[in-house]
Structure 1
Amino acid sequence: MTQITLRPPLSDDRDAWEELYAGYAHFYGVIQTPEMRARVWDWIMDPAHEVEGLLALQGDTPVGLAHYRPFARPLSASTGGFLDDLFVAPEARGSGAAEALIHELETIGRSRGWSVIRWITAEDNTRARALYDRLARHTTWQTYDIAL
């Protein structure tokens, strides 16, 4: 098994990142256009934007991604980190890429003084939930959306 390395996306990673992100959208049944992916890529490449990214690589090949951002936690008067997207290519699942991405985000969060790393996943995402249950505490909070 090839070792996993982690780093932020570089401009030359666009095609590989886009393939991974399209796979993520497909996994969740989300219709995503090239224009939508371009907007997210621009956010990640803009150091002034709150959204940041990480890539997991096997050798020189990106096999996983994570997108994250800080969020204010008024009740605790602190800042947390929100993991918006986490995806590993099907052929790289079981490689340790997802766990490595989460651990790297923990390191980033600690270095920035964040009080928590938080994320959501689909209830039926059983494979990922097995990892999440090992690495984090499952909360009792329910999520609600109002579509605008």
Structure 2
Amino acid sequence: MDGFYYDLEAFGNELREIRKSLRLTQKDVADQTLISTDTLRRIENGKVMPKHETLDLMSVIFKRDLNELLLKYRLKDYSSFYKIKTSIEDKLEGGEFEDLKKDVEELKEIINEGKTSLYYIRLLKQLLLLVESVIEKTVNNDYRQREQFFMSAF
């Protein structure tokens, strides 16, 4: 399971709120589950994708199925995203750079719909910039202008 497909920061915030509502400290949870406080802190801060086993252990203490809760934070338009991501990967691997232009438009639609969190919008924009730069370099041979654009964007 890849953390890219989940809003781990929002999931971690909800876990923190549940823990606090139960009046538990991170140390309390760590002591009862044998999960380190460092791991719990990283989960609550959205820095790691928790293992199913970890969530199972924590579910007992939190009195909720945390694996089920995690699904709530899955990328909202996952099927569209997965389709476009797979299409881009296939075209990049197959050297079908001209055909990437259609994928760029679909990716822009996903970004403009705004169905994802700000974090994922930023990741999708990075993917868009990568694909556009490949098109500029391979199809348009106009990478000097794009290079200047990238430098000004950051």
Q: Does TM, normalized by the shorter one, top 0.5?
A: no
Larger radius of gyration, structure 1 or 2? 2
Richer in strand (by share) = 1
TM-score where L is the length of structure 2: 0.28
TM-score where L is the length of structure 1: 0.29
